[in-house]
Amino acid sequence: MLRRVRGRQKKALATAGLLGGSLAVALGVLVLGAEEEEAWQRLEVSYARELSRGRFLVRPLPPRTPGKTLSVAKITRYPFGFAVVETASGERALPKKPVAVRTLRLSAKAVRRKVVAFGAAEAERDATVVAEAAGTVREMLFALGEEVAAGDPLVRLDPRDAELALAAAEARLEQAQGAQQRARTETKNLLAQLLIAREALDARARERERWQVLAARETASRDRADQAENAWRAAAAEHARVKGAYEAALAGARESEARVSLAVAQRDQARLALARATVRAPFAARVAERYVSVGDRVAPGTPVARLVSSDRLRVRVHVWAGDAARVARGAAASVSFPAARDLLPAAGTLPAYPGAAAGFLGRVEGVAAAADPRSRKVAVDVSVEDPRGVLRAGLFARVEIDGGVVPGALLIPDSAVISSEEGRFVYVVEGDCARRRQVLLGARQGEARLLREGLSAPVELVVSGVALLYDGAPVRRLED
């Protein structure tokens, strides 16, 4: 038992000593800092990692110990045996053997530019169907997810009130039409009487004039002239009476026509109310939501169902302004949905354009005229054909838009590029040595970028093993 206690005490003391030593070293680094000295000498190192050109993190070796040799101009020593050195002429720790690399021979060729962006699919038509009449839901004629055609009935309300209103409106219309017919008949008869009265009045006027002339010549008696005058006056009174009756009948006929028009409008309104007792699909779609059940009381404007178009979707993506300049309305696009990848063969999709990834056929519908002030990106709407209805709104989509062909272009793989504060660099092979070249890259094309400046075709580019290279390093090509 005593031995176990002593063993535990020794372990505790060792742990405490280790922690104390680590704290002491850390405190020494903080308090004393690193030691810097000028050292124009050659230094043997067992480890060398380049921090920047001509500046290395190294672990110096004891004198006369074989290792890599550096010509050191300045050395800054740190605890734990490490140091940062600056070489006299920017030389590097040369490996003893050539670096094994894989290369790719690049030549200028026409490259089809692709603009890749991501977004969420939306239904091209997404509508909430509402009841247009008040009533009680009597029948539900659809199921969630069911496809419906334009005009298909969705919900039927209790139609009895609407049917009674229609019957009353039709009765009023029939009554008004009967009154209109009677008014027309009366007007027609009075018009005939008016014509007869007018002819009679004209005849009595001629006779009156003739007898007045004869009486003035004293070839006829004054009594006969007076009789003609009285006959004319009686004909005029009859004409005025018939004319007044005709005008009153004509006004009544016009009023009856107005009543018929009103009755027709009321009948049509009652028919519309009865038709609105059946809620129908406004377009071919799939039912996304249902909001009512049998027995619910609804008012005009009450949501009944949500419909989304099933044959076409729209994907809104946002691209950089430089890419937006290369996207034209009507350009082909290939749209893929990671969550529906297994549906592609069933849908029979083909590439949207030569070189495009397999996906659903899409077309650019429009490009925003201005960039978003927050993201500095431009919105692009892409319509997606889905004739078999295998997709769903809300799916995450990858959109690849045809940006045209770039002649005489070079594609630089991402694996060949080294990024630093000074820019982007690649290594090319000249003879059996690697040469570092600064490049300016353009738009991304999959796992590569278009070269804008820095290389001339043809060129042999290092695509594997670049991390171990430096300018002038000997290389050994690996064969695939």
pTM, to two decimals: 0.51
Can you name the residues that pair with 435 across neighbouring β-strands?
428
Give yes or no: residues 60 and 18 share one domain: no
pLDDT tens for 319-353 read: 888 788 888 888 888 888 877 666 554 444 445 55
User: Residue 310: CB partners within 8 Å, gap ≥ 6?
Assistant: 147, 284, 285, 286, 386, 389
Percent of the chain with pLDDT over 70: 76
Question: Encoding tokens for residue 238?
Answer: 């009859």
For residue 440, the one-letter residue type is L
3-state secondary structure 34-84: CEEEEEEEEEEEEEEEEEECCEEEEEECCCCCCCEEEEEEEEEECHHHCEE
Give me the pLDDT at residue 58, please.
67
Provide the residue range defining the domain that includes 300: 133-157+278-306
Asked if residues 457 and 104 have their Cβ atoms less than 8 Å apart, the reply is no
Task: Identify whether residues 319 and 338 lie together within a single domain.
Answer: yes
Q: Please tell me the distance from the alpha carbon of residue 66 to that of residue 45, in angstroms, as a whole number.
A: 8
- Joined together, the tokens standing for residue 459 give 């060129």
Overall domain count for the chain: 6
Tokens matching residue 194: 């008016």
If asked whether residues 147 and 284 sit together in one domain, one would say yes
Res 96: pLDDT: 47
Phi-psi region of 367 (alpha: psi -120 to 50; beta: other; left: phi over 0): beta
Query: Do 263 and 171 belong to one domain?
Result: yes
299 and 266, same domain (yes or no)? no
Amino acid found at 439: V
Domain co-membership, 242 together with 166: yes
For the stretch 253-295, pLDDT in tens is: 899 999 999 999 999 999 999 999 999 999 888 898 999 999 9
Six token digits for residue 143: 């199921």
Same domain, 213 and 143: no
Q: Are residues 465 and 360 in the same domain?
A: no
Residues 266 and 325 in one domain: no
| 70-74, 110-114, 438-442: least confidently modelled range | 70-74
User: Domain end: 380, 406, 432, which one?
Assistant: 406
Name the phi and psi angles at 382, rounded to 5. Answer: -125, 125
DSSP state of 98: P
Asked if residue 285 and residue 150 are part of one domain, the reply reads yes
Average pLDDT across the chain, whole number:
79
What's the pLDDT at 286? Answer: 87
**pLDDT at site 27:** 41
Q: What's the pLDDT at 265?
A: 94
- On whether both 168 and 272 belong to a single domain, the answer is yes
- Helices 160-216, 222-276: crossing angle, 10 deg rounding: 170
Q: With contact defined as beta carbons under 8 Å apart, do 284 and 309 qualify?
A: yes
Same domain, 146 and 286: yes
